[in-house]
Structure 1
Amino acid sequence: MQPASAIDIQSAVSLLTKTPQLLETLLADLPGGLFDWKPKPDRWSISEVLAHLAALEQVYGERVRRILAEDSPPLAKYDLEGAKARGEYSRGSAGENLAHFTRTRRSALAMLTHLPAPAGARTAIHSELGTITLAHLLHEWASHDLGHLRQIAELYRAYAFYPNSGPFMKYSNPQP
């Protein structure tokens, strides 16, 4: 693992900047029924993924603000299971959740785009992980985006294309 001072935060910020447009492009031509389709009862639909992304935008944004404003602030582990149990990811339509995500991301980007490189070395104390840096958090945020972009793409693939690929189904195994 690189020391925090050597981690390039701009690569993470660059990906975070691109995610809203990547989502809009990917979602533009989806069949209507796909937004609420689940491959299995315990898996998320695209609408739920978008609700999760919107909720996490607020969490990541608040963490960045605290790391920048405070010296080594304590950060609690995100309660994913609690959010699911409270039905937080079942609220709103895909369009509403995407719009909320995009608005919140724009606000975060206004804060992130002018960060000086040394800001990446600022620290926080995560309740489960211990000491983390802003650079670590930004790279996790970008990784989180990519993971859910992949998840949405796999849902699209499994719903709209895989069932109609005939004998080529032998060569692929979507994992939404």
Structure 2
Amino acid sequence: MNLSNSITSRLKFQHETIGELILNLDEQQLFKRPQPDKWNIHDNIAHLARYQHVFIERINQILNTENPLLGSYKADNDPEFISWQNKSTEELIQQISADRQDIIQLINTIPENQSDRKGSHPFFGNLNIAKWTERFLLHEAHHLFTIINLVNL
């Protein structure tokens, strides 16, 4: 599947920003909540790690089902999210890197005749795989922005 250079580059490297942002932080900084009910840096990283699996599942649904309905994902409603929060930050970052390779492999092996397959979302509408990948990357960028703001608290 051919993606734009922008999408391909971000898919390969954007996640590496996480490690750069938290390089000199200690455990206290990683787990400090900005407000009692708001996610800390670690929670945001756990979400990014878990969401990669959700993204892989969604791409596979698109490839295996005609125009599947892909519901809104909310980590707080995901029973698996807690197990991701319980992993160490280092383990999450390693998992993100490993899973990113799986995502790249999956996307790169999609035949051109399947690249226009679509999945529907109640808010985002009917998107092809390239647009889902763009949304995935923008979602990740949003959390990177959140992390950098939390680093500076």
Q: TM-score range by the shorter chain?
A: 0.7 to 0.9
**Correspondence for 2:27:** 32
* Structure 1 residue ranges (4+ consecutive) displaced by more than 4 angstroms after TM superposition: 114-120, 127-130
Q: Give CA deviations for 1:88-144 in whole Å, capped at 9, x if unaligned.
A: 553212112222222211111112245567755321133554422222211110101
Secondary structure, counterpart of 1:75 in structure 2: coil
For residues 81-92 of structure 1, what are the structure 2 equivalents within 5 Å? 81-83=76-78, 87-88=82-83, 90-92=85-87
Give structure 1 stretches of 5+ with no counterpart. 1-7, 159-176
- 2:107 is the alignment partner of 1:112: yes
Structure ID, larger Rg: 1
Give structure 2 stretches of 5+ with no counterpart. none
After TM superposition, the score normalised by the length of structure 1 is: 0.72
Equivalent AA in structure 1 for residue 72 of structure 2 = K
Residue range with higher mean Cα deviation, 41-50 or 75-84? 75-84
After TM superposition, the score normalised by the length of structure 2 is: 0.82
**Correspondence for 1:131:** 126
Secondary structure, counterpart of 1:153 in structure 2: helix
- 2:53 is the alignment partner of 1:63: no
Give, in whole Å, the separation in 2 of the partners of 1:51 and 1:141: 15
Which structure has the higher relative contact order (CA within 8 Å, separation 6+)? 2
The number of residue pairs the alignment matches comes to 151
Alpha-carbon distance, 1:71 to partner: 2.5
Alpha-carbon distance, 1:149 to partner: 0.8
CA contact (8 A) 2:49 2:84 kept: no
